[in-house]
């Protein structure tokens, strides 16, 4: 096995992103949601899926932190908050991966406090076997096994986000 064992190719991701964009565009027809990108991991997924939507919407960004060198710390820190007034607005959150569920469980509660008309979650990846806190995913790209993955926004110590595919990282392999 090399350094990167590809789980989802660029083509597989692109096809699924297109399907999700279509589904979301149909569901939000005439609604103008506020679409929130969860930084940093969702940056490519967010960019690709929003470009494929046939919809009018506004965008905002949030950044929370829970990961320290590949393992969950459990403490969620809000590093950057959305600035849009979302009261009575329809909010769609775009996240890279739901793992323990701690980040989104926390963020969904924060968003609910601002009295939006509705809140939905779109996640590219789900690792259900790792769940500690419940999170309801409305739009899901792929369910994956409990493997540490990188690429398409996902990092290991801030590296490999730029890979166009999603791969399992083999730390023992040579560069």
Where do contacts with ligand IMP occur on this chain (CB under 6 A)?
41, 66-67, 72, 95-103, 148-150, 154-155
Cβ proximity to ligand IMP, 41 vs 141, nearer residue: 41
| Whole-number Cα distances in Å, 74 to 61, 99, 121, 134, 153 | 22, 12, 21, 14, 21
Q: Where are the beta strands (DSSP E) in the chain?
A: 4-8, 34-39, 58-68, 71-80, 90-98, 118-126, 139-143, 149-150, 166-169
Size of the site for Mg ion (CB under 5 A): 2
Whose Cβ is closer to ligand IMP: residue 89's or residue 102's?
102
Residue carrying the six token digits 């986000």: 161
Stretch that binds Mg ion, among 37-45, 73-81, 85-93, 134-142 (CB under 5 A): 37-45
Check if 99 is active-site.
yes
Under rule CB under 5 A, residue 41 binds Mg ion: yes
Q: Which of 1, 9, 41 is nearest to 167 (CA)?
A: 9
What's the min distance (Å) between Cβ of 169 and ligand IMP?
A: 8
Residue 48 touches which member of Mg ion, ligand IMP, none, C-beta under 5-8 Å by kind: none
Nearer to ligand IMP, 55 or 163 (CB): 163
The whole-angstrom distance between residue 109's C-alpha and the CA centroid of its chain comes to: 17
Burial class (CB in 10 A: 0-12, 13-18, 19+), 120: middle
List 99, 155, 172, 175, catalytic entry? 99
Tell me whether residue 40 or residue 90 sits nearer to ligand IMP (CB atom).
Answer: 40
Residues that bind Mg ion (CB under 5 A): 41, 96
Query: Which residues are tagged catalytic?
Result: 99
């Amino acid at each position: 096995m090399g350094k990167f064992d590809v789980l989802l190719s660029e083509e597989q991701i692109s096809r699924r992103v297109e399907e999700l964009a279509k589904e979301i565009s149909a569901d939000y027809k005439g609604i103008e949601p506020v679409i929130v990108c969860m930084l940093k991991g969702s940056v490519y997924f967010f960019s690709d899926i929003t470009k494929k939507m046939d919809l009018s919407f506004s965008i905002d960004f949030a950044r929370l932190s829970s990961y320290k060198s590949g393992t969950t710390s459990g403490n969620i820190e809000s590093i950057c908050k959305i600035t849009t007034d979302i009261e009575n607005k329809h909010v769609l959150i775009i996240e890279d991966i739901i793992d323990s569920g701690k980040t989104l469980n926390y963020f969904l509660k924060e968003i609910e406090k601002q009295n939006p008309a509705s809140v939905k979650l779109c996640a590219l990846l789900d690792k259900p076997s790792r769940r500690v806190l419940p999170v309801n995913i409305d739009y899901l790209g792929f369910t994956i096994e409990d493997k540490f993955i990188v690429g398409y926004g996902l990092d290991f110590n801030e590296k490999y986000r730029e890979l166009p595919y999603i791969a399992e990282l083999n730390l023992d392999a040579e560069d």
